[in-house]
Amino acid sequence: MAETASRFLACLTPEQRLAAAHEFGDPLRLRWTYLPTSRPGASLLGLGRDARKAAHLLLATALSRHAFAQVVTIMAMEEVLDLDEGGRNGRHSDDYHLAIFGRPGAEEWGWRFEGHHVSVTATIAGGRVEVAPLFLGANPATVRYGAAAVVRPLPLEEELARALVTGLPPTLRDQAVVADVAPSDILTGTSPVVAALEPAGVRGGSLAPAQRDLLGRLLEVYLDRLAPSLRGAHEPAAFSFAWAGALSPGAGHYYRIQGPGLLVEYDNTQDAANHAHTVIRRPGADFGAGLLAAHLSGEA
C-alpha cells in the first residue's frame, strides 16, 4: 500500500502533488462525503496514464477484486446519470479524487479515494490498516432492458436482505421491521463519528440456523468488500438486523446491521427506489481511531 501510494505521488506534476498531498493531521482527513461536491485530492481528470493507473492500484490494495469491480462500475455509471439528466449537472466518470494524508510508509498515514457514490478511507498506524468509512452507492441502482437488469452494481446487498426479512416468522419480523416508512438516506450521513442506532431490531442469536446463516451471508457481502487480509471474523449471532419500509421490490426500503465494532447501513428510497446508498462504519474506530489510540499507547 505504501509503495503504491508513493508511486502515485511520484507520477504527479507539482500542481497535482500539491492537491494530493496533505499532512496527516489535516482536518480534511476526517471530512468525507459521497455527494457531488468539491473535495481534497488530485482529480483523475487530467492525470497521466501512470498516475491514473497508480490511483486505481492503490484503491485495489484495500478492496477485494469484486468490490474493485463494483467501484469502477459505479464510477462509469456517472455517465449514465449524466445522460439521464441531460448533462445539466456536468457529471463525468473522472470526477474522483485521491488524497494522501501523511508520508506513505510513516508510522501514521492514510489515504482516501472519493467521488460521487464512492468513498474509501484507509488509515495506517504501526503497520496495521483500517478501512472505514467505506461507502458505495449507485444511481441508477439498476439499468434495465425490459424486465432484465443490464447493469446492477449492488444486487446481493438488496436481495439477501429482502430474503432475510421476508423469511422471518411473524414474531421475529415484528422485531426486525422498525418502521413502515424508510428514511430518505442512511441515518449516519457523513458524520466523522457514529454510535449504535436504535432500535436495534432482531438479534442474530434469536434466529433459526437457516435465518442466521442468511444474516451471515449478508454480513459477508459487506466484509468481503475488503481485501482478504483486512476483513476479520464476525459471528452473525452477535449482530442485529433492522428493516424499515416496504418489503416488496421496487418500493423504498432501508436496513442496518450492527454488532461488535461494526455498523452497516443500506438505503434505497430516492428516485423511485432506484438509487442505493450503502456504508460500512466502525463505531468509535472510524478513520483508524482505534489503531491510532493503540499505537500511541504502545499496544500496537
Same domain, 24 and 106: yes
Same domain, 161 and 279: yes
Task: Indicate the helix (H) or strand (E) that contains 243.
Answer: strand 240-245
Residue at a domain's end among 73, 108, 125: 125
Same domain, 115 and 211: no
C-alpha cell at 269: 428510497
Does residue 299 register a pLDDT over 80? no
Same domain, 162 and 282: yes
Over residues 10-57, the pLDDT tens digits come to 999 999 999 999 999 999 999 999 999 999 999 999 999 999 999 999
**pLDDT band of 202, cuts 50, 70, 90:** very high
How large is the angle between the packed helices 155-166 and 209-223, nearest 10 degrees?
A: 160
117 contacts 136 by C-beta, under 8 angstroms: yes
Same domain, 162 and 101: no
114 contacts 95 by C-beta, under 8 angstroms: no
Classify burial at 100, counting beta carbons within 10 Å of its beta carbon; exposed 0-12, middle 13-18, buried 19 or more. Answer: buried
Same domain, 20 and 89: yes
Encode 230-260: b = buried (16+ Cβ within 10 Å), e = exposed: beeebebeebbbbbbbbeeeeebbbbbbbbe
Distance CA 9, CA 54 (A): 9
**pLDDT band of 295, cuts 50, 70, 90:** low
Q: 261 lies in a domain?
A: yes
Task: Indicate the helix (H) or strand (E) that contains 60.
Answer: helix 49-62
Distance CA 101, CA 58 (A): 14
Q: 146 lies in a domain?
A: no
> pLDDT averaged over the chain?
96
Same domain, 196 and 268: yes
Same domain, 106 and 52: yes
Instruction: Quote the pLDDT of residue 294.
Output: 74
Among the residue ranges 118-122, 279-283, 288-292, the one predicted with the least confidence is 288-292
- Sign, CA dihedral 273-279-284-287, equals negative
From the list 182, 143, 163, the residue with the least C-alpha distance to 265 is: 182
Within 10 angstroms of residue 89's Cβ, the number of other Cβ atoms is 12
Over residues 150-172, the pLDDT tens digits come to 999 999 999 999 999 999 999 99
Residue at a domain's end among 77, 106, 125: 125
Instruction: Quote the pLDDT of residue 269.
Output: 98
**pLDDT band of 300, cuts 50, 70, 90:** low
Q: 238 lies in a domain?
A: yes
Residue 189: CB partners within 8 Å, gap ≥ 6? Answer: none
Q: 229 lies in a domain?
A: yes
**pLDDT band of 233, cuts 50, 70, 90:** confident
Task: Indicate the helix (H) or strand (E) that contains 135.
Answer: strand 128-138
- Residue 226: give the domain boundaries: 155-286
Instruction: Quote the pLDDT of residue 296.
Output: 64
Q: 136 lies in a domain?
A: no
Distance CA 118, CA 36 (A): 10
Q: 142 lies in a domain?
A: no
User: CA dist 261 to 135, 187, 238, 246, Å?
Assistant: 17, 17, 11, 28
Instruction: Quote the pLDDT of residue 298.
Output: 65
Residue 117: CB partners within 8 Å, gap ≥ 6? Answer: 34, 74, 77, 78, 135, 136, 137, 138, 139, 277
C-alpha cell at 194: 457514529
Q: 246 lies in a domain?
A: yes
Same domain, 103 and 187: no
Distance CA 290, CA 13 (A): 35
Domain count, the chain: 2
Same domain, 174 and 216: yes
Distance of CA 239 to the CA centre of its chain: 19
Q: 299 lies in a domain?
A: no
Residue with cell 440456523: 209
Same domain, 58 and 179: no
Residue at a domain's end among 77, 109, 125: 125
Same domain, 177 and 257: yes
